[in-house]
Structure 1
Amino acid sequence: MRAQYLKQFKKNMKHIKKNSPELYRKLTSTGYDEKWNIHIHEADGKLNLLLDGKPLYEIDIKEHSIINVENFVNRFLQKSKTHVDVFINTTEYFRESLHFKLLKKVDSLSFDKKFYTFEEGKDSEKVIHLLVVYGVGFGYHIKELLKKIKVRNIILADLDIELIRPSLYTMDWEEVFKDTNVTIAYGRDEKVLAKNIIKELKTINEVYAGMYYEYPLYESRVFKQVMQNIRYEEDEVIRGWGFFEDEIISLEHTYQNIEKKPPFYVRKKKIDKDTPVFIVGSGPSLDKDIETIKKYRDDVVIFSCGTALKPLVKNGLIPDYEFILERLKPPYDALLKTLSKEELKKLSIITVNLAYPGIYDLGGDKYMVLRVGDAGSFIFDEDYYYLVNTSPTVTNLAFSFALNMGFRQIYLFGVDLGYKDETKHHSKYSVYYADKEFKKEKADIYREVEGNFGGYVKTDRIFDATKTSLERNIRLYPDAYVYNASDGAKIEGAIPLKSNEIKLDRKYIKEKVKEIIESNFDRNFFHDKKNMENLRKKRDEVGKYFSDFIKEYKKTFMKKSQNIDEVYEKMEELYRILAEDIYEKSYSLWTLIRGTVYYALTIALVASLRVPEGKNRVEYFDEIFNEIGLFLEKGFKKYLEIVQKS
């Protein structure tokens, strides 16, 4: 190799080691693979990469890169940004929320005549906040691209780190990235690479999930699939933010439910790992599996997930435990439509701290568990047993509880998470067909996924996220055997097993299993003065941190910005304060406010493209910062109202 390339490599590594230790660690975390080599064509000095002695590029990669960059830049500068989706739904509850009102304000301000001079087809924005480059190689395209467009953050992505390293020999990283934050992502296949890119995106700034750009070095089936996978992952990132009203309800319900003093999950004794459990959802395939559930009703504990209760009851089955997750009233209404008040007295319910308080007023035993991810659960000390991956549906809650309790023989029925016919989306006995209030003619379609017993099924966003959450929990418990009898979506890590093939040893005494489950709930927890004092202390801490944050926000973010660079720096500082400082001080406050603020910043970035560069755009963002400040003040007032009632 020519000396100039080795010299450049050493210079780059010295610079990266000094200025970006984490990036240096990634670049040196694996040994050099000898199957990759840089080839210099003696006649003209052009470079190519060799894989096992064969050229990787069949084209002049330098010339190709320059042409490709020109095309990208032209498309980028001409791309028009139309009215942005403000992530709304149509329920009155949502439309009246502080969250929705802030997002509408952020979006509508960009149409204000004092800012709005948008011309169709022309986009004055010359800054990319996050660019993902697929294919790195010698980096010719990266160098050329950063000459023409300002890029604040860049992720260099490839399937193998050996395809990223060549740029260290041919490109001056210090010079090329002097105004750009750079990181890398690599993975052995499309799924792993997509997950690693999302991981880097979260590290940089989740807000950019709403408006990042992608640049592929060359046409590739692999890169296309990675981009598609990122769409699904990115959608999950944004959905996971939550929003203020959901979290304030979580706090309000948690405080109210604590006053009812239900048995509280502390997990003292695990179930024997060979003990089976049936987890029942209300997917359409449940109807054909009812007889199998009946066959083992006296031997196996049955967990019913939300609306699965009605199909079970219709077929003469009362589950051992009904699981409820949602914070709003519909699950309560569904219970009253399914069982009489006398029957409800015989029903044991396991639900979460944030559940609709009326649930805890129904007859029978009600048990409280904590779930990671809501503002109400985070007022409890960290040493209690939080359940993980419990959303977005109640099936996730029941599954997480079963694993946490020690069950390692888990059978899934009616957990379809997809459908072959969108008019047959739930059990025919479920409330979705029987009751006008819940009736749903057709299911939404988000995408197609592999079927549990082959072929493909259609799924919606919620079911797709449910599937992902179940798969995460399966990976957390590699010793668990999860048998999926549902004729719907394939769940990675679960074993497809048709219900008529299930053969169980009847050696377990069901009542003993239930005794162990219920012994893990402390009936005196909320009667203990020390526990209650700790909860009040945590509650008061949230209020103090909230008040302090508003003071800091006003001082830092509600003053006039001098230029657009200062605006972007303020946005990144706000993200850092939320993602690091507030996160460390108070999970509860972080969960309460971050979703709405993230959404507002995402929408502001996209909507600002309607506003011309310069003074107008700076003033637009300053108004956005002021609106976020007003939202925080109103939110704090709402928080105090909740606390005063508790």
Structure 2
Amino acid sequence: MSEATMAELYERNLAALERRAPGLVPVLRSIAAPKSRLCGSLEHGELNLDLGHARLYEPDARQFADSQLANYRLRPTRMYINLPKCPRQPELIPHFVLRAVFDHFAELSVPAFPTDPHEHAGFMIVYGIGLGLHLPELVENYDFRHLILVEQFAEFIHHSLHLVDWAAWLDRLEARGGTVRFLIGTDPGQMAQRIYWDLRHGQFGLIDGAYVYRHYSSYLLDKAEELFREKLPVLGVGAGFFEDEEKMLRNTFANLAECDFSLLEPKRRLEKPVPALIVGSGPSIDGAIEELRRLRESAVLFSCGTALGVLLRNGIKPDFHCEVENDPQVWEHLSDYRRWTDFDGITLIASTTVDPRIPGLFPERILYFRDTVSSTGFFGKNFKAVYGAAPTVTNLGLRAALIFGFRDIYLFGVDLGTRRPDLHHSKDSFYLTDETWKATHTKQIEPMCHELPGNF
């Protein structure tokens, strides 16, 4: 292939990437002098990537890719999800659906469920792009929707764009409704986390049977895959249930239609020069109130959930208050606070799924679209969902502070445990000040039987 042909192919491929991964294109164009270099050629069967200390492929890129693809065709690596348990006495909508599905197949006299998932899958995860000779065949021969490409070195993609017709396989993937996601970095922990969240995105219902392809081995790719595998047991945790999704749809519609608000989206912002204090209602907050009072005027304060009552009872008003739960009880508690104080100067940060009576209690409101819920799929398609804002409301406080650009962040009362089981929350939280809740909720708290080293 002549240099002119390679340059033409490179520009055509960049144009195709501009539509699918616009943030990647400037990175690739900035690579003027890559540390690695192409050697040999496809035509003569000796193409390779010279890394300086060694070559990436043995014996060459084409033979390596062909052999690897042939082995993968014989036994593709896939992810398997266990069948859900079907309760004998259904209570929730998912239980009734499962019961109906199981009964349907029982009537058909299906002897057993198939051991292998269907060839159609929601995902293919590819660890390693290298020169990318394997990518066209993977897209052509395997039926998946969402392609996740994990790579440490952007310059490998730079080389590949001169050799492989990326535009052709990207068009083929797009024609069947597929998408591509590039995960490029040097931190295996972040890589594993990004894979996790990608799988929990729009095609989450199709993770069973996801394809996994390892192109080459490196410390980063090996470690990223290892860390991701550690997350597999919790991949399906918190997927929600029908009744809750129905409530969140109603709440989101009402909040979007009826209240004025700003929208919180993860995007680049200027770094803030002051610290942020994230306040939960764990029991340790009782011993830190005076420190909070001392720091109040030199920091930005985020109260989280029931911590608002704790702060207000001690004469401290936060700058922001965070709520994520969609239960009406949240509105009841906030309304109770309003009977003896006001929320002047406090800006609400809340999911669009909260009870629609809550935003009106605050003078200023910032809403966000939660990740992986149906209401975001319906109403937030053109906006960025906020990930990492659950499962506790203090996760939201931390995530909001990071989105705003705070880099010095301190946690108060974010205990996630206690030294004394009877002091599960601050003494000033409604759990211990409201007589009704003291009589009912405390009886429902699961016993704290796991003893671990503490840091407070």
Q: Kindly indicate whether the alpha-carbon contact (under 8 Å) linking 2:37 and 2:51 is maintained by their aligned counterparts in 1.
A: yes
Q: 2:128 touches 2:150 (CA, 8 Å); kept in 1?
A: yes
Q: Which segment drifts farther, 143-152 or 46-55?
A: 143-152
Is the CA contact 1:185–1:200 (under 8 Å) kept in the aligned structure 2?
A: no
Residue ranges of structure 2 left out of the alignment (5+ in a row): 263-271, 380-384, 433-437
Kept after mapping to 1: 8 A contact 2:148/2:183: no
TM-score between both structures, scaled by the size of structure 2: 0.60
> Does the 8 Å contact 2:128/2:151 carry over to 1?
yes
AA in 2 matched with 1:440? E
User: Are residues 1:132 and 2:130 paired?
Assistant: no
- Within a 5 Å distance, the mapping from 1:205-354 to structure 2 comes to 212-227=210-225, 243-251=245-253, 279-293=278-292, 304-308=303-307, 317-320=314-317, 323=321, 325=323, 326-331=325-330, 345-349=339-343
Q: What's the CA shift for 1:163?
A: 1.5
Q: Quote how far apart the aligned CAs of 1:240 are.
A: 10
Code of the aligned partner of 1:345:
R
- Which residue of 1 is the match for residue 182 of structure 2? 185
Following superposition of structure 1 onto structure 2, how do residues 111-510 of structure 1 map, counting pairs within 5 Å? 111=105, 113-114=107-108, 116=110, 118-123=112-117, 125-142=118-135, 145=138, 149-151=142-144, 154-168=147-161, 171=164, 179-181=172-174, 183=180, 185-190=182-187, 212-227=210-225, 243-251=245-253, 279-293=278-292, 304-308=303-307, 317-320=314-317, 323=321, 325=323, 326-331=325-330, 345-349=339-343, 356=355, 367=363, 369-373=365-369, 391-392=389-390, 393-395=392-394, 412-416=411-415, 418=416, 427=425, 429=427, 435-437=441-443, 439-442=445-448
1:416-448 deviation per Cα after TM superposition (whole angstroms, max 9, x unaligned): 5x5598979954646678652552334999xxx
Q: Distance in 2 between matches of 1:390 and 1:143?
A: 34
Q: Which has the higher helix share?
A: 1
Aligned position for 1:55: 55
Structure 1 contact 79–121 (Cα < 8 Å) conserved:
no
Change in 2 beyond 3 A, CA 1:438/1:51 = same
Q: 1:367 to 1:404 in 2, by over 3 A?
A: farther
> What are the superposed Cα offsets for residues 533-565 of structure 1, whole Å, 9 maximum, x if unpaired?
xxxxxxxxxxxxxxxxxxxxxxxxxxxxxxxxx
Structure 1 residues 285 and 209, CA, compared in 2 at 3 Å: closer, same or farther? farther
- SS at structure 2 position matched to 1:218: coil
Distance 1:51 1:74, change over 3 A: same
CA change 1:76–1:398 in 2 (3 A) is: closer
Gap change, CA 1:71 and 1:251, over 3 Å in 2: same
Deviation per CA, 1:307-356: give whole Å up to 9, x if none. Answer: 3367668xx724436946233134366679xxxx7x86323346568655
Matched residue type, 2:447: E
Q: Which residue of 2 aligns with 1:624?
A: none
> 1:120-179 CA deviation, whole Å, 9 max, x = no partner?
5344x3344432222122344445656754455544432122223444455555777784
CA contact (8 A) 1:156 1:183 kept: yes
Q: Deviations over 1:184-243 (max 9, x none)?
A: 625231366568778988999676566632211133331244346768799699969983
Counterpart CA distance in 2 for 1:319 and 1:297 is 8
The change in CA–CA distance for 1:30 and 1:403 in structure 2 (over 3 A counts) is closer
Query: Contact 1:135 / 1:157 at 8 angstroms: preserved in 2?
Result: yes
Offset from partner CA, 1:222-269 (integer Å, 9 cap, x none): 1244346768799699969983322214445888x97xxxxx879xxx
Q: From the superposition, tell whether residues 57 and 17 of structure 1 become closer, same or farther in structure 2 (CA, over 3 Å).
A: closer
Distance in 1, Cα, partners of 2:163 & 2:408: 55
Relative CO higher for 1 or 2, CA cutoff 8 Å, sep ≥ 6?
1
Map Cα deviations across residues 461-512 of structure 1 (whole Å, 9 max, x no partner): xxxxxxxxxxxxxxxxxxxxxxxxxx58xxxxxxxxxxxxxxxxxxxxxxxx
Contact 2:16 2:170 in 1 (8 A): no
Does the Cα contact within 8 Å between 1:8 and 1:172 map onto a contact in 2? no
Distance 2:247 2:130 in 1: 47
Matches within 5 A, 1:13-52: 13=10, 16=13, 22=19, 26=24, 29-40=29-40, 45-52=45-52
Secondary structure of residue in 2 paired with 1:219: coil
CA distance in 1, matches of 2:404, 2:48: 56
Would you say the 8 A contact 1:306–1:323 is kept in 2? yes
Q: Any conservation in 2 of the 1:286–1:413 contact (CA below 8 Å)?
A: yes
The CA distance in 1 between the partners of 2:195 and 2:106, in whole Å, is 36
| Partner residue, 2:382 | none
Residue 46 of structure 1 aligns with an amino acid whose one-letter code is E
Q: Residue 124 of structure 2 aligns to which amino acid in structure 1?
A: L
The alpha carbon displacement at 1:288 in A equals 4.0
Question: What displacement does 1:281 show?
Answer: 0.9
Gaps of 5+ in 1: 259-263, 267-272, 380-386, 446-455, 459-486, 489-646
2:3 aligned with 1:9, yes or no? no
Deviates more, 1:243-252 or 1:298-307: 298-307
d(CA) in 1 for partners of 2:300, 2:100: 50
For the structure 1 residues 219 and 426, does the alpha-carbon distance in structure 2 shift closer, same or farther, using more than 3 Å as the test?
A: farther
SS in structure 2 of the partner of residue 164 of structure 1: helix
Contact 2:283 2:418 in 1 (8 A): no
Distance 1:122 1:402, change over 3 A: closer
Task: Write the letter of the residue equivalent to 1:246.
Answer: M
Could you list the per-position Cα deviations for residues 260-306 of structure 1 after superposition, in whole angstroms to 9, with x for gaps in the alignment? xxxx879xxxxxx9998865212354244234236678999976433
Query: What's the CA shift for 1:398?
Result: 6.3
- Partner AA of 2:46 in structure 1: K
CA deviation string 1:63-111 (max 9, x = no partner)? 554454444444438986641589x9x997xx25xxx479648965884
Q: Deviations over 1:6-34 (max 9, x none)?
A: 57735744764676653697565333434
- Helix, strand or coil at the partner of 1:138: coil
Structure 1 residues 285 and 14: alpha-carbon distance in aligned structure 2, compared to 1, 3 A threshold? same
- Corresponding residue number in structure 1 for 2:435: none
